Amino acid sequence: LTVLGIETSCDETAAAVLRLTDGRAELLSDVIRTQLEEHAPYLGVVPEIAARAHAELADLTVKAAMHESGVSYSELDGVAATSGPGLIGGVLVGMMTGKAIAQAASKPFVAVNHLEGHALSPRLGNDCPFPYLLLLVSGGHCQFLEVRGLGQYRRLGSTIDDAVGEAFDKTAKTLGLGFPGGPAVERLAEGGNAEAFDLPRPLLNRPGLDMSFAGLKTAVARAAADTDMSEAELKDLCASFQGAVTDILSTKAALALADFDPGEDGHKRFVVAGGVAANKAIRAALTRVAEEAGATLIAPPLRHCTDNAAMIALAGAERLAAGLVEGDAGDLATGARPRWPLDEAAAKAAPVYD
Ligand code: ATP
Ligand code: MG
Ligand code: FE
């Protein structure tokens, strides 16, 4: 199965061609055009700017991915595009592009949930069979999910306020570190003392897997407002913030792993995906937690932690291979969903925009 994937839900315009043979994925091309420079002056993603940039870049990005892959449109078995959740303007651009190509080439269109893309991203390179425990930590989400199979996701717990990536971005904004915040905070934290500031860890000792990061972000803002910070203090504050986040994620991951039923092969697999999974300190801490629980940590390469189209092509190909896409036209009649939770019960209640 050969599938073209398109991703436009946030600030990356991306297209990729992937071939799935006997469950093994091979990437034939993987093009990512980031809009970071367009949004950087505003210290965050501006939806209107993103939508316009996607409209300008989508065709070129798809052409580049097709050209690089050496595959012709007629050789495709389907076209997949992110259909939510995300910024509606961008999602619509990607869907229209994908639907137009699918129709012109008489191939099925596959509407992919962006979160399913992140959830399947470890399967792009690694040997990562179902089931696995997933910690999804991205710009808009922070949740533990049990992944039993394709389309079988159960949410075990999530943030009750900010997402982790959002907390990194807001912290960076408060400290004047620019956008995106994650990499900037991580760089400064490397030289700092994580014990220097006593920051809160909300919900840490409560039972259950829900998490909270809003209080942490506020505490950073308060610490930063008090003093004219030296470079050393700034590093300490970043290290303390990253340490608190790491603590929360590690503690909850240990709880989740203790309860996780690995199924038949008895092998506990723990996947961390999403942009924050690019953070080396967090990866290292989660590796230790996994080892202590007798589990293996699997994390996608950095390129596939943040937004990309390879994971969207993979989700589309796996859906086609599993027979989850109906009819010759596939999901051509499906609309965009700005909110689209992964677990089906919650997903049914989300609105659809045609
Ligand atoms: P969602 O997938 O929830 O819709 P998104 O697509 O915007 O959100 P991603 O692209 O997966 O999210 O990740 C972007 C986020 O990851 C940003 O908030 C960014 O600050 C964060 N991030 C990226 N690199 C790092 C890092 N090294 N350390 C911490 N956070 C990071
Ligand atoms: Mg992004
Ligand atoms: Fe994402």
Mutate to test the pocket of ligand 1, among 10, 242, 276, 283 (most ligand atoms within 8 A of CB): 276
Query: Which residues make Cβ contacts (< 8 Å) with residue 286, sequence separation at least 6?
Result: 135, 249, 250, 253, 270, 272, 297, 299
CB of 138 sitting under 6 A from ligand 1 = yes
Q: What is the pLDDT along the chain (354 residues), one digit of tens a residue?
A: 999 999 999 999 999 999 999 989 999 999 999 888 888 888 888 899 999 999 999 999 999 999 999 999 999 999 999 999 999 999 999 999 999 999 999 999 999 999 999 999 999 987 899 999 999 999 989 999 999 999 999 999 999 999 999 999 999 999 999 888 999 999 999 989 999 999 999 888 899 999 999 999 899 999 988 778 899 999 999 999 999 999 999 999 999 999 999 988 889 999 999 999 999 999 999 999 999 999 999 999 889 999 999 999 999 999 999 999 999 999 999 999 999 988 865 666 566 665
Residue nearest (by alpha carbon) to ligand 1 atom 31: 182
Which ligand is in closest contact with the Cα of 140? 1
Q: Residue 7 and residue 96: Cα distance in Å, rounded?
A: 12
Q: Which one-letter amino acid corresponds to residue 81? A: A
Q: Residue 197 and residue 226: Cα distance in Å, rounded?
A: 13
Structural element, H or E, at residue 159: none
Q: Residue 222 and residue 219: Cα distance in Å, rounded?
A: 5
Ion ligand 3: residues, CB within 5 A, are: 138, 307
- pTM recorded for the entire structure: 0.93
Q: Residue 31 and residue 246: Cα distance in Å, rounded?
A: 31
Q: What tokens were used for 102? A: 């699918």
Residue nearest (by alpha carbon) to ligand 1 atom 4: 140
ipTM surpasses cut 0.90: yes
User: Residue ranges for the binding site for substrate?
Assistant: 136-140, 169, 182, 186, 279
Half-sphere exposure of 185 (CA within 13 A, CB side): 33
Q: Residue 337 and residue 233: Cα distance in Å, rounded?
A: 43
DSSP per-residue codes, 80-103: EEE-SSS-HHHHHHHHHHHHHHHH
Nearest to 31 by CA among 50, 47, 48, 7: 7
- Please, are residues 26 and 18 in contact by the beta-carbon 8 Å criterion? yes
